[in-house]
Amino acid sequence: MSNRGCSDSSCPFRSHGGMRTNGGCRCFGKGATMTPDERSQLRAWVHEMRVERDAAVAKLGRVIATLRDAPNALRMTQELLTDISSILRDKT
Ligand SMILES: [Zn+2]
């Protein structure tokens, strides 16, 4: 998605970086079907969706990392319970 959109700095379809222009985003056209305010609102929505998508992808990455470590946490818990069980058995 980062390579879509026009080269304008306000374009919500492009990631930051690279050569940018300042004439205004041209992705929604300048036809009579949308007013400048509607185009501006649409750009804001697209930008908001990208921010939310990026946040969701980052959160998913953290969940995956946690799940990858889950077997290790389970093994350590089992070892701890075995140790506690052994200690309790020795006390009785
Ligand atoms: Zn654009």
Tens-digit pLDDT profile for residues 6-62: 888 888 887 767 777 888 888 877 656 778 888 888 889 999 999 999 999 999 999
pTM: 0.56
Give the distance (Å) from ligand 1 centre to CA of residue 53. Answer: 18
**CA separation for the pair 33, 4 (Å, rounded):** 22
pLDDT at 1: 45
Q: Is the pLDDT of residue 77 over 90?
A: yes
Name which of 32, 33, 36, 28 is nearest 11 in CA terms: 28
Span from the CA of 57 to the centroid of ligand 1 (angstroms): 23
Report how far ligand 1's centroid is from the alpha carbon of 68 (Å): 39
CA of 50 to the centre of ligand 1 (A): 14
